[in-house]
Amino acid sequence: MGYKPQEIEPRWQAHWNQHQLFRAGIRSDLPKYYVLDMFPYPSGSGLHVGHTEGYTASDIIARHRRMKGFDVLHPMGFDAFGLPAEQYAIEKGVHPEVSTRENIETFSKQLRAMGYSYDWDRQFSTSDPTYYHWTQWIFLKLLEHDLAFQEEAMVNWCPELGTVLANDEVIDGKSERGGYDVVRQPMKQWMLRITAFADRLLEGLDEVDFPESIKSMQRDRIGRSEGADATFDIVDSDLKMEIFTTRPDTLFGSTFCVLSPEHPFVSKLTDAPHQQAVEAYCQEAARKSDIERSGTEAGKTGVFTGAHAINPCTGDSMPIWVADYVLMGYGTGAIMCVPGHDQRDWDFATTFKLPIVEVVAGGDVAVEAYVGEGTHVNSGFLDGLDKEQAISASIDWLEQKKIGKRIVRYRLRDWIFARQRYWGEPVPVVIDDEGKAHPLPESALPLELPHLDDFAPTGTGKSPLERAQQWSQTEVPGSGAPARRELDTMPGSAGSSAYFLRFIDPKNDQALVDPQLAKRWMPVDLYLGGAEHAVGHLLYSRFWTKFLHDIGVCPVDEPYAKLVNQGMILGEDHRKMSKRFGNVVDPLDVIAEQGADSLRVYEMFMGPIEADKPWSTGGLMGARRFLDRVWRLFFDQDDQLHGTLSAQATDDQMRILHRTIDKVDRDTEGLRFNTAIAQMMTFVNELNPLETRPRAILEPFCLVLAPYAPHLAEELWSALGHDESLMWEEFPQADPHWLEQELVEVPVQVNGKVRSKIEVAVDIGQEQIQQQVLADSRVQEYTEGKEIVKFVWVPGRMVNLVVR
């Protein structure tokens, strides 16, 4: 009796599956819409209700768009390679091939139980050879265009995980996975030249519809800054020291220089009396973790080298110090210090009693550095100029003297593209006896990952693939000279950097994607996922897209037209959902008790999609009760359809129906799912007490409900006598006639306070309403004996009288 989701839902899921109702690309006459979820890591713990929030939102959009006449591409797959999957496998003592397969099964089962309208035929995992074939192919293309290269680089080495990590896999000097110590260490690595795309990645942000916070995070990561390089002579040395500054206008105020401890000049410049102290300092700096070095609370440390550089403006000699607040990885690893106008330099100068000179007026350099605007003083030919003029004039001067030039630098580093781990895409390269790298020919792809029984990290900096002797020993393509395969694998972020292209044409064994199909579907119209990928994944995939665009593979150079970050679902206790707190909610449990439609409706009703929201069992029950009430709108106590189906719809019924259609349509389009559902609840509440249930009202409502509670909607639709699924029915259109009201009740304010309400025709004129308002007895109480200064009538909204 009554609404039984457990019985209804599997039946409709089977029906959709059987009739392949969500296949994309079969209606090429319709406009396209590509809606994509950030695909999940198939972890061992399965999906929780945080994942299903985003997936439900995108599914509602997909279903709504289909009903609005779009050919919708809505695919799903699994990001299975990489550290999380491998760590899980190690912890459980299972081979990652096995655990990945099992986890994907669990995830698929959960996703299917939610009734998502994915085109499952397009599903793949990044660990499928038929997929990573193309990840490897892109790598070969990058290599061909000199965007992939090997370099001895300072990397984040995690001894416990036995691999290098990307910067965003390191948090506070610990690994993101497991929280193990990470040390800086030089290693020869494959790198991708993402820095070559820095400006385009920056400019592209202006064209896309991303949350402002994401854009600003990406801009910060790219960290473009304009300035100048300048070369300083060194006293009693042939060496010339190159520094980078964004404030060349303050050259006259530079009183000392600082080298990074890793700077090659440190050992060359340090004189005998200072040697011991400098060496000790550099060793200490190398030992310290990044977090210790950058700790602002630590204050400034440093040692004098005994050497001096010459200030090209003043001719003064400036002591050269070594300090770890200067980083080797940015700029030239050497800076000129202007303590008057840079707080870090000011702190340093104060600590070590170095001279401070004011060159920009406006502050008090005896108290703190002055970084604001101002007129230049003590600056020779720059005196009297403002900041902008002085920067420009000083660079001109440097260029004229051939001791410097204008330059743009970025904080963004090249992408370290190698992990000393087993579970990743093999790099399609062989190394000959002289250590030279040779790419494999495209025909050799995919280079399959060999099966290894012992896949644990070696911990030595070598890849576990070293153990695959047979696989590793090979020859140089073409020449036949002996060689070994590259043993490092690609990082986890490789597989997710172009997957949206592969979903368009997942079975193509001749190309990453057919160009015609790519043209049809790109870009992704709506991309939904968590904000944790704000920088890493999004920057990497934007980079690859730009590259693929340049070589003619991808028709667009920005992959995602619109990005939305769903918020986090917190536990009922308002804390982050985590096993540790025991507050994790499994969608399968919810589905078993209340049904997938209740879960879908509840999660969308919780609040704005982008906000963090706490789970509430009571709230879930509310969603269930709403669907129960929908059921009873259609059926009587014996589960028989209401006998009043053939009744004529009343004007009231038509008005509430069309208001609902209009609001749900617009709110869905704008991803305001919570208010769309509130409107459907209002519809049910208002319709409930009315005596008749005309088909003309129930049928359109069924369609309006369908994107949100698809199983229930199908069941009701079929009960109304339809043989076909409502999936491709047209979404109802709101008739403007029923949206307009003839009479409205408007509040009447006197001096801004509501004192009365009157009912008037919407289109009443100023004079008539004034007459009616003044005739109102409540209004007269407040106006008696007073002068009416002003009469405000906002048509259809309200009246305000100003009296004195």
Partner RNA sequence: GCCGGAGUGGCGGAAUUGGCAUACGCGGCGGAUUCAAAAUCCGCUGACUUUCGGGUCUUGUGGGUUCGAGUCCCACCUCCGGUACCA
Residues within window 205-224 making contact with RNA, judged by CB under 7 A: 211-213, 216-217, 220, 223
The reply on whether position 644 binds RNA by CB under 7 A is: no
- Smaller CB separation from RNA, 412 or 554: 412
Q: Which of 155, 208, 278, 335 binds RNA (CB under 7 A)?
A: 335
Cβ pair 95, 85 in contact under 8 A: no
> Candidates 270-278, 371-379, 648-656, 793-801 — which segment interacts with RNA by CB under 7 A?
793-801
- Smaller CB separation from RNA, 489 or 668: 668
CB of 284 to RNA, least distance (A): 13
Q: Which of 141, 537, 613, 693 binds RNA (CB under 7 A)?
A: 613
Residues facing 229 on adjacent strands: 244, 405
- Smaller CB separation from RNA, 66 or 293: 293
Q: Which of 59, 342, 557, 714 binds RNA (CB under 7 A)?
A: 342
Which residues contact residue 90 at a Cβ distance below 8 angstroms, ignoring those fewer than 6 apart? Answer: 456
Taking the mean position of all CA atoms in its chain, how far away is CA 692? Answer: 49
Measured at the CA of 411, the angle between CA 409 and CA 416, to 5 degrees, comes to 120
> Candidates 179-187, 341-349, 482-490, 697-705 — which segment interacts with RNA by CB under 7 A?
341-349
Cβ pair 145, 551 in contact under 8 A: yes
Q: Which of 473, 688, 766, 768 binds RNA (CB under 7 A)?
A: 688
Q: Which of 409, 485, 502, 533 binds RNA (CB under 7 A)?
A: 409
CA distance 26 to 517: 12
Q: Which of 611, 761, 762, 775 binds RNA (CB under 7 A)?
A: 611
Q: Which of 473, 685, 733, 766 binds RNA (CB under 7 A)?
A: 685
Q: Which of 55, 197, 325, 560 binds RNA (CB under 7 A)?
A: 325
CB of 540 to RNA, least distance (A): 15
Q: Which of 203, 742, 794, 804 binds RNA (CB under 7 A)?
A: 794
The reply on whether position 800 binds RNA by CB under 7 A is: yes
The reply on whether position 295 binds RNA by CB under 7 A is: yes
| Matching residue, tokens 């404030």 | 247
CA distance 559 to 258: 43
Write out the two tokens for 13. Answer: 């899921």
Q: CA–CA distance from 346 to each of 261, 332, 492, 591 (Å)?
A: 20, 21, 42, 62
| Matching residue, tokens 């599956």 | 17
Q: Which of 75, 84, 261, 333 binds RNA (CB under 7 A)?
A: 333
> Candidates 293-301, 434-442, 467-475, 700-708 — which segment interacts with RNA by CB under 7 A?
293-301
CB of 325 to RNA, least distance (A): 3
Measured at the CA of 519, the angle between CA 506 and CA 29, to 5 degrees, comes to 95
Q: Which of 678, 719, 720, 758 binds RNA (CB under 7 A)?
A: 678
> Candidates 104-112, 182-190, 296-304, 453-461 — which segment interacts with RNA by CB under 7 A?
296-304
Write out the two tokens for 520. Answer: 């049809």
Query: What is the C-alpha R_g of the chain?
Result: 34
The reply on whether position 372 binds RNA by CB under 7 A is: no
CB of 241 to RNA, least distance (A): 13
- Smaller CB separation from RNA, 344 or 484: 344
The reply on whether position 787 binds RNA by CB under 7 A is: no
> Candidates 186-194, 340-348, 445-453, 587-595 — which segment interacts with RNA by CB under 7 A?
340-348
The reply on whether position 682 binds RNA by CB under 7 A is: yes
- Smaller CB separation from RNA, 473 or 751: 751
Write out the two tokens for 6. Answer: 């457990």
Q: Which of 117, 463, 660, 674 binds RNA (CB under 7 A)?
A: 674
| φ/ψ (deg, to 5) at 654 | -65, -40
The reply on whether position 689 binds RNA by CB under 7 A is: yes
- Smaller CB separation from RNA, 120 or 527: 527
Q: Which helix (H) or strand (E) holds 541?
A: helix 536-550
CB of 486 to RNA, least distance (A): 29
Cβ pair 622, 628 in contact under 8 A: no
Q: Which of 531, 584, 690, 719 binds RNA (CB under 7 A)?
A: 531
Site string for RNA, 733-772 (x = CB under 7 A): ------------xxx-x-xxxxx-x---------------
> Which of the residues 236 through 255 are near RNA (CB under 7 A)?
244-247
* Identity of residue 209: D
The reply on whether position 606 binds RNA by CB under 7 A is: yes
CA dihedral 104, 608, 733, 209 (to 10 degrees): -80
> Candidates 183-191, 621-629, 646-654, 699-707 — which segment interacts with RNA by CB under 7 A?
621-629
Which residues contact residue 51 at a Cβ distance below 8 angstroms, ignoring those fewer than 6 apart? Answer: 40, 587
Cβ pair 179, 165 in contact under 8 A: no
First to last CA, the chain: 65
> Which of the residues 99 through 138 are near RNA (CB under 7 A)?
none
Measured at the CA of 513, the angle between CA 507 and CA 519, to 5 degrees, comes to 130
Which residues contact residue 771 at a Cβ distance below 8 angstroms, ignoring those fewer than 6 apart? Answer: none
Query: On the CB side of 617, how many CA atoms lie within 13 Å of its CA?
Result: 9
The reply on whether position 612 binds RNA by CB under 7 A is: yes
Q: Which of 618, 651, 743, 777 binds RNA (CB under 7 A)?
A: 618
Collapsing DSSP to helix, strand or coil, 464 comes out as helix
User: What is the number of H-type helices and E-type strands within the chain?
Assistant: 26, 27
The reply on whether position 340 binds RNA by CB under 7 A is: no
Q: How many residues bind RNA (CB under 7 A)?
A: 86
CB of 167 to RNA, least distance (A): 7
> Which of the residues 163 through 202 are near RNA (CB under 7 A)?
167-168
The reply on whether position 584 binds RNA by CB under 7 A is: no
Q: Which of 69, 450, 608, 647 binds RNA (CB under 7 A)?
A: 608
CA distance 99 to 196: 38
| φ/ψ (deg, to 5) at 522 | -80, 150
- Smaller CB separation from RNA, 198 or 465: 198
CA distance 64 to 786: 56
> Candidates 185-193, 578-586, 609-617, 693-701 — which segment interacts with RNA by CB under 7 A?
609-617
Q: State the helix-helix crossing angle for 673-687 and 596-605, rounded to 10 degrees.
A: 110
Q: CB neighbours (10 Å) of residue 401?
A: 12
Strands (DSSP E) found in 345-451: 404-409, 415-416, 429-432, 437-439
Q: How are beta strands 32-37 and 563-565 bridged, if at all?
A: unpaired
> Candidates 320-328, 494-502, 539-547, 768-776 — which segment interacts with RNA by CB under 7 A?
320-328
Collapsing DSSP to helix, strand or coil, 65 comes out as helix
The reply on whether position 786 binds RNA by CB under 7 A is: no
Q: CA–CA distance from 166 to each of 81, 173, 662 (Å)?
A: 15, 12, 48
CB of 594 to RNA, least distance (A): 12
